[in-house]
Structure 1
Amino acid sequence: MDERKASVLNHADLWSAWKEDGDHEAKKKLIEYHLHIVDYVSSRLAIGLPKNVSKGDLASNGVMGLIDAIEKFDYKRGLQFETYASWRVRGAILDSLRQGDWVPRSVREKAKKIETAYQQLEQKYLRSVSDSEMSDYLDVTEKEFRHMLQEVAVMTLTSLEDPIREEESETRMSLLVDEKAKNPDHKVHEFYLREALMKGIGKLTPKERTVVSLLYYEDLSLSEIAEVMSLSPSRISQLHSKAILRLRGALDKDRDLLMQND
């Protein structure tokens, strides 16, 4: 216990030395101490990404996010740096992926096609639609549909982190996890988007809801979720893709309605 207290005190001293005195050696030690955050976040995001995207590249961009977090963090507010840094690291990695345009155009088109199909069929039937119904609508076999889901998995891994609108920084994920920091200018929009998201989650199948919950709330990786649910990683990836494409369809539909009413 004494060692633990000493470690915490030493850590606080590092923040003080860096923020109050501009001690770059202290900053270096803070970076080294928190590199595990970069490793954890980059490892999670690496799952399901194309082979041409190396974990090393993700980690390099993550380190830039960590440095940015250390430079901007206000240690006097008593907030958890690990939580703040995780979002900064994740954001830096996702920004690098978007700028690199690592998703082939054909995959983007397939994702949009599936998303639109979910949106139209579920609006028509007012319920979750089956793989068979989706296959018929898309004029493919169920096996081909599952293969399509596997292909677009690389997009859905980060889709909740994408901005709700291109010109804004607020993400779909923020509507799920951020109960603070409300933007007054978009309060009404946020309310309806949150409602749409919750309705969308309600339309997911039990397995899809479980995957979303374990991934975004319990912070498990896709491989860990596969173990928990006794399913193959590829099956978990398909369930995740379907869940995210359903949610994107629900949010995009609501967003369009809101824009029409503006």
Structure 2
Amino acid sequence: MSVSISQNLKEYSRTAEQTTRDALVMNHLWLVRHLTGKVTARLPMGVDIENLESAGMLGLVEAARRYDASRGVDFKSFAALRIRGAIYDEARRNCPLPQEVMQRVMLVSKAQEQLTAPISVDDLVAETGLAKDEVIDALLAMPLIRVQSLDQVLDDPTRNSDTAPDASAEFAEQKRLLADAIAALPERERLVVTLYYMEDLRLKEIGEVLKLSESRVSRLLAAAQLQLRSYVGTNRKDA
């Protein structure tokens, strides 16, 4: 093969790859807006939504650049983790919490470390001396300090797929534990989790379905997430 033909083929390949990446980005712009809306609904008032959406866009572009279809993971799932992570990173950089909220977060975090799992909101209330709403507000504020949501319970299923032969079996076990944990939730919290994560509804939409305020739905979701993390973490250690 001549040098010129080889160079032309390489250039064509680069162009085709770029076209594919551009298509992935354009076809998933809605996902950035959707995830920005879901994240900001659970953050303190006053966040700059445009900045967070811009960060989510960068996460989408990076996802398109890194995506490898041969791994068998659909692009929406692959991109959602990176978009959400980029949004939370931007929120942490630009949305410092008030000192009193920081103190409550630290109290709740310390209580979580000291208590024996599984841990409930009532356990945290008894351990910290805070009111129930203050504990839940601290749980809601934790994403601004560290990403600690249900999306991290299972981690990224593609992360160790090349180096860990047992990754698929471990991921399947984590999903089983999570399903058991969801089944054990109180009915209303179980419904909120199902609508938020499996039906992909926003808090406002869930509130309309359940006839609850958006704030109440947010608190139910935070309480459910605490129980899910605690249940999955405990059973993984026991396994």
Q: TM-score, with normalisation over the residues of structure 1?
A: 0.63
Residue 137 (structure 2) pairs with residue 150 (structure 1): yes
- 1:231 is aligned to 212
- 2:196 is aligned to 215
Residue 150 (structure 2) pairs with residue 160 (structure 1): yes
Give the aligned residue type for 1:149: I
Equivalent position to 1:106, from 103, 108, 116: 103
Residue 228 (structure 2) pairs with residue 247 (structure 1): yes
Give the distance between the partners of 1:79 and 1:58, measured in 2 at CA.
26
The verdict on how the C-alpha distance between 1:78 and 1:48 changes in structure 2, with shifts beyond 3 A counting, is closer
Give the aligned residue type for 2:230: G
Give the distance between the partners of 1:86 and 1:155, measured in 2 at CA.
20
1:1-262 to 2 correspondence within 5 Å?
20-21=14-15, 31-32=25-26, 34-73=28-67, 81-97=75-91, 102=96, 105-112=102-109, 115=112, 119-120=116-117, 134=123, 137-138=126-127, 140=129, 144-155=131-142, 159-162=149-152, 171=155, 183-186=164-167, 189-190=170-171, 192-257=173-238
Deviates more, 1:44-53 or 1:238-247: 44-53
- 1:9 is aligned to none
Conservation of the 8 A alpha-carbon contact between 2:136 and 2:222:
yes
Summarize deviations over 1:106-149 as a string: whole Å, max 9, x none.
243244356568855x58xxxxx7x7x648734748xx213321
Shift of 1:205: 0.4
Shift of 1:234: 1.7
Conservation of the 8 A alpha-carbon contact between 2:105 and 2:138:
no
Conservation of the 8 A alpha-carbon contact between 2:42 and 2:140:
yes
- Count of aligned residue pairs for this structure pair: 220
Give the distance between the partners of 1:191 and 1:78, measured in 2 at CA.
15
The verdict on how the C-alpha distance between 1:237 and 1:27 changes in structure 2, with shifts beyond 3 A counting, is closer
The verdict on how the C-alpha distance between 1:33 and 1:190 changes in structure 2, with shifts beyond 3 A counting, is closer
The verdict on how the C-alpha distance between 1:112 and 1:228 changes in structure 2, with shifts beyond 3 A counting, is same
Q: TM-score, with normalisation over the residues of structure 2?
A: 0.68
Shift of 1:53: 3.1
What is the SS of the residue equivalent to 1:184? coil
List gaps (5 residues or longer) in structure 2.
Answer: 1-10
**Aligned residues with identical type, % of pairs:** 27
Give the distance between the partners of 1:187 and 1:30, measured in 2 at CA.
26
